[in-house]
Amino acid sequence: MSEWKKVKLGEIAAYIQTGPFGSQLHQSDYSEIGTPVVMPKDIVDGRINVATIARVGKQHVERLSRHKITEGDILYARRGDVGKCAYTNSSQTGWLCGTGCLRVTIDKEKAMPKFIFFQLQKKDTIGWVEKHAVGATMLNLNTSILSDVPIELPPISTQHRIASILSRYDSLIDNYQKQIKLLEEAAQRLYKEWFVDLHFPGHENTKIVDGVPEGWVHSMLGQLVEFKRGKTITKKEAIEGTIPVVAGGLEPAYYCNRSNTAERVITVSGSGANAGFTRMYFEKIWASDCSFVDSSTSPYLHYVYCFLKNNKTTIDNMQKGAAQPHVYAKDINLMEMCIPAESVLKSFEKKASKYYDTISSLQSQIRLLTEARDRLLPKLMSGEFELK
């Protein structure tokens, strides 16, 4: 530990830069396809989540070329949850740092970017950033504050060893996440085969009546399941625990000690930049700023989840409100659908549940790996473990 020295982030950074201002990147500039633009909402668990990422065309990428991301850059949310940051990998080179973000590029002759990223993940470092951020109603970060973040810097060889140890956990987590993605895609393919292409078991011998298979009914989602609005609980009201509080983001807002749903629950984010984002949780949660339906009220949860994912555009178009978009439970329940025959629904649930049971198991493994890594992180960063 005697070889470690205290420095400021600005002393080891090649530069710390603010993303483009709103006047440089307008809502009308975004497109369905193109280069991803990373916003604060996309920074999740130290990574960039592309589930709802915005994109722009080539002309805007070239115009904003000074905001291009390179491998090893560290992106911070400039306002709101200012303690969170994401490390960028090689596949994200050329993407854009978006409005509301700050980009830190480490001078590789002075420090190892991945090691610095892990330093910034320490609880006391996150606490320092939150304490020094400015703003009464919403915390704000700027380049000056980030430049002053204290860093414990060991020799470069030690940086590499520590980063290598912690990266093994991240590699396993990434591998499990890739498996989850493949399983989700398989479930969606099964859904489309059965309910879009109508190649469900026994379709060859099923009559078509009024444009739908016999026994199927033109109706609304609310006739099959009823989505309800969650109950708001603020961070101040919540007693800290292990139960996710699901609000308007891609990930839980925080954790509390009680739930208001059964295990296995579908949520649709209620407001904010991610309004309409649909997710399945495999544990009990506290449904807050979201609409939800759980396993206690429907035996067809996996079918409903696949239906919602397949109709993402419809849900996105439900957003109401310009400054703060909202998606309401009553509108979700009014979604038009063709409810399949009960025998087909039961058969689909039996097959689809195998995919989602495996996903649940993989998510549990990710949770255990994350907890183990987070316990090890401060010990490695404090020099408590001697590395040889």
Q: What is the pLDDT of residues 62-84, one digit of tens each?
A: 999 999 999 999 999 999 889 99
Would you state the pLDDT for residue 240? 92
Question: What is the structure's pLDDT at 284?
Answer: 97
Q: Are strands 85-87 and 30-31 parallel, antiparallel or unpaired?
A: unpaired
Nearest to 292 by CA among 231, 211, 219, 223: 231
Residue 249's pLDDT is what?
Answer: 84
Q: How many CB atoms lie within 10 A of CB 248?
A: 22
Task: Kindly tell me if the per-residue pLDDT of 53 is higher than 70.
Answer: yes
| Nearest alpha carbon to residue 105 among 69, 78, 138 | 69
> What pLDDT is attached to residue 6?
94
Q: What is the mean pLDDT of the chain?
A: 94
pTM of the prediction? 0.88
Residue 384 has pLDDT above 80, yes or no: no
- Whether 201 contacts 347, CB under 8 Å: yes
Residue 23's pLDDT band, with cuts at 50, 70 and 90, is confident
Please report, rounded to a whole number, the percentage of residues in the chain having pLDDT higher than 70: 99
Architecture of domain 5-153: Alpha-Beta Complex (3.90)
Mean pLDDT of the 326-346 span: 97
Q: Which residues of 78-115 are buried (b: 16+ CB within 10 A; e: fewer)?
A: bbbbbbbbbbbeeebeebbbbbbbbbbbbeeeebbbbb
Torsion on CA atoms 316, 320, 325, 326, rounded to nearest 10: -80
User: Helices 342-381 and 301-310: crossing angle, nearest 10°?
Assistant: 80
Q: Are 321 and 276 in contact (CB under 8 A)?
A: no
Other beta carbons within 10 angstroms of residue 72's beta carbon come to 19
Q: What percentage of the chain exceeds 90 in pLDDT?
A: 86
Phi/psi of residue 240, nearest 5 degrees: -55, 135
Residue 388 has pLDDT above 70, yes or no: no
At a CB cut-off of 8 Å and minimum separation 6, what does 380 contact?
162, 165, 166, 387
* The pLDDT of residue 10: 97
DSSP-derived secondary structure letter, 204: G
Instruction: Convert the pLDDT of each residue in 265-287 to its tens digit.
Output: 999 999 988 899 999 999 999 99
Token pair listed for 17: 């830069």
Q: Where are the domains of the chain?
A: 5-153
- Going by pLDDT thresholds of 50, 70 and 90, the confidence category of residue 52 is confident
**Cα separation of 182 and 180, whole Å?**
5
Per-residue H/E/C for 112-166: CHHHHHHHHCCHHHHHHHHHHCECCCCCECCHHHHHCCEEEECCHHHHHHHHHHH
Report whether 39 contacts 78 (CB < 8 A).
Answer: no
CB atoms within 10 A of CB 331: 19
98: tokens are 């978006």
Statement: residue 298 has pLDDT above 70: yes
121-178 per-position pLDDT tens digit: 999 999 999 999 998 788 999 999 999 999 999 999 999 999 999 999 999 999 999 9
- pLDDT band with cut points at 50, 70 and 90 for residue 1: low
Largest CA distance in the chain: 80
Range 298-307 burial, b when 16+ CB lie within 10 A, else e: bebbbbbbbb
- Please report the pLDDT score of residue 88 as a whole number: 97
Tokens found for residue 158: 């030690």
Measured CA to CA in angstroms, residue 304 lies from 93, 170, 310, 334 at distances of 36, 32, 10, 13
Contact 270, 326 (CB under 8 A): yes
Read off the DSSP letter of residue 330: H
- Residue 316's alpha-carbon distances to 52, 275, 313, in angstroms, are 10, 8, 5
* pLDDT > 90? residue 387: no
Q: Are strands 286-287 and 243-246 parallel, antiparallel or unpaired?
A: parallel
Tokens coding 310: 């397949």
In the three-class reduction of DSSP (H, G, I as helix; E, B as strand; rest coil), residue 216 is classed as coil
3-state DSSP: the chain helix, strand, coil percent, rounded to 5?
Answer: 40, 20, 40
